[in-house]
Amino acid sequence: MYRREDGRRAREAKHTGWQTLLAALALTALLLTGCAGFEKEYVAVTDYTLPERDESAPGNLVRVSDVQQLREAIRLFVRQGGGEGRQRVVFSSEYRGNPAEDIDSAIWQVRTEDALCAYCVENISYEMRQFVSSLEADISVTYSTGAIPVEEIITMAYATELNKVIEKTIAAGQSRIAVLISRSTLTEINLNARVSELYMRNPGLAPVHPDCTITVFSGRGNERLFEMSFQYHMSKEQFLRRKAKLDAVMPVVPEDADDYTRVSAAAEMLYAACNPRGDRSVYAALVLGRASSEGIALGFTELCHRLGLECYVVTGQKEREDHFWNVVVVDGMAYHVDLFAPPEEGFLKSDESFWGPYRWTTSVYPKCEKNYSEPDQPILPEESGAATGETRNPDEDEQRAAEEAAPAAVTDPGFREEEPASEDFSVAAEISGREENNEGDPDSAAEGSAFESPALEPVPSPLADMPDSSATEEGEHTPEL
């Protein structure tokens, strides 16, 4: 048994020896002949070495350590505007989170929760790159071509300065602005009402009441972006030309004139311009000389402001039809003025005098407690010599009595006094001259369609005579300054 096992082992050892010899011979032949006998391709594989980041590459560089910093970096990059360039974001080695997932989430939040991005950003894209020591993302922004450029968007923390921005925009005839307010509860409706109120209080801002369209874009919390479009229904050149003519109108009053003289001068310029079928603009009232109750109320407000008087346009009803008039402050007291009414009924009147034919929201306007009455002429005895200790000359007393008996140079606005039709300063002649000379004026022709009906009978002013009018450029007439 032992001999049989030894024989088997001897045969296996001999076979293994032959295999080793054959393998050695094959290896020797391969080394001598090279690889010419093999047609297969071989690729050498080495360990991958990450490239170093190019420090000179264009674009800003921001390092972030969490998703909040990543979101803020993207938001600030969007607000830089410019339309070109890239923002490079470097994820620090201590970054808390998954960069690939966080960047998608941050971009979505910025696009949907930031008011400015919701308004003007078309798309935000990125490209991730791995370097030796960091993971980085190149972010690019595509802006909407229809939006106002980011660098032209007006920004403010609160709406306290919004009124000044709107007034400046209207006065310049600008057609569109975008205002970003960090904290605001304004809506499209109440902001549109604010624009209308600002113009009604300051009608000299523009020749016509602008139509305003507002679109609101909301962000997180109370962040709001308002895109405001203004329509003036005329070209920019027409706007500026008419604005210059409007600015040139000014009543002539002494520098030391009292409030009553000033308000009377403003009324004097507008009584004859009242026309129910006239245009509703301040330009029609002060330059063309024919306007509806709205245009007259706007014109009276603007003249009072230029004379240093506080004045408001009242929106209400007269005989149950829409109507406009004014409340003006004279010597610290408020009074109603409706230049479409006879002076004895509509000039410097109280709430009680107006209420009935007129209806308005009383809480919106100053309270008018009484009708205006001119200061009484001093009636003696305090002016007598006995009261003052002065010696009176009988001749002087007779002369003074004769002067008091003579008609006053300026009549009370409580009645109308007929004036000769042949007088050169007739308001009717002035308006007629305007209409004849306006034929060659393209601006006046555009406005003229509102005035095709025969003019109303001119009402002579109960106040001081108006100065002669003189022609201005383009055939229109304005009161002489």
Phi, psi (deg, nearest 5) at residue 380: -65, 160
Residue 13 within a domain: no
Same domain, 197 and 262: no
Chain centre to alpha carbon of residue 203: 15
Same domain, 292 and 310: yes
Same domain, 77 and 226: no
Mark which of 143, 170, 202 sits at the end of a domain.
143
- Range of 182's domain? 153-233
Amino acid making up residue 302 = E
Strand 291-291 to 274-279 pairing: parallel
CB 249 within 8 A of CB 478: yes
Q: Token match 């001259």: residue?
A: 433
Strand 154-156 to 121-130 pairing: unpaired
| 313 pLDDT tier (thresholds 50, 70, 90) | very high
Same domain, 297 and 353: yes
Report the C-alpha gap between 444 and 435 in whole angstroms: 9
Same domain, 164 and 288: no
CB 365 within 8 A of CB 327: yes
Mark which of 118, 143, 168 sits at the end of a domain.
143
CB 179 within 8 A of CB 224: no
CB 165 within 8 A of CB 139: no
Same domain, 352 and 416: yes
Report the C-alpha gap between 341 and 339 in whole angstroms: 5
Task: Return the DSSP state at 248.
Answer: T
Report the C-alpha gap between 272 and 177 in whole angstroms: 39
Q: What is the mean pLDDT of the chain?
A: 76
Give me the pLDDT at residue 352, please: 95
Residue 297 within a domain: yes
Report the C-alpha gap between 364 and 43 in whole angstroms: 89
Report the C-alpha gap between 118 and 32 in whole angstroms: 75
Amino acid making up residue 100 = A
C-alpha separations of 226 from 150, 352, 432 in Å: 13, 42, 46
Q: Give tens-digit pLDDT for 16-44.
A: 666 666 666 666 665 555 554 445 454 44
| 185 pLDDT tier (thresholds 50, 70, 90) | very high
Same domain, 204 and 353: no
Tokens representing residue 238 in the block: 């027409």
CB 54 within 8 A of CB 138: no
Contacts of 419 (CB under 8 A, 6+ apart): 426, 460
Task: Give me the half-sphere count of Cα atoms (radius 13 Å) on the Cβ side of residue 459.
Answer: 20
Same domain, 203 and 85: no
| 85 pLDDT tier (thresholds 50, 70, 90) | low
Residue 148 within a domain: no
Tokens representing residue 295 in the block: 């245009």
Strand extents, DSSP E, 268-408: 274-279, 291, 311-318, 321-330, 333-337, 347-349, 358-359
Out of 90-104, 266-280, 433-447, pick the least confident.
433-447
Q: Give tens-digit pLDDT for 435-462.
A: 444 444 445 444 443 333 333 344 344 3
Report the C-alpha gap between 425 and 213 in whole angstroms: 44
Q: Give tens-digit pLDDT for 361-403.
A: 999 999 999 999 865 433 333 333 333 334 344 455 445 444 4
Amino acid making up residue 127 = E
Greater pLDDT, 336 or 15? 336
Give me the pLDDT at residue 400, please: 47
- Work out how many domains the chain is built from and give that number: 3
Report the C-alpha gap between 8 and 14 in whole angstroms: 10
CB 128 within 8 A of CB 99: yes
Residue 372 burial (CB < 10 Å; 0-12/13-18/19+)?
Answer: buried
Greater pLDDT, 260 or 13? 260
Same domain, 445 and 311: yes
Same domain, 213 and 353: no
Residue 295, H or E segment: helix 293-306
Same domain, 129 and 74: yes
Question: Which alpha helices (H) appear in 149-258, and where do they start and end?
Answer: 162-171, 188-201, 236-247
Residue 384 within a domain: no
Same domain, 178 and 279: no
Report the C-alpha gap between 242 and 208 in whole angstroms: 10
| 329 pLDDT above the threshold of 50 | yes
Residue 242 within a domain: no
> Which of 261, 341, 270 is CA-nearest to residue 301?
270
Tokens representing residue 469 in the block: 């009018």
Residue 391 within a domain: no
Q: Token match 């003519």: residue?
A: 245
Report the C-alpha gap between 327 and 325 in whole angstroms: 7
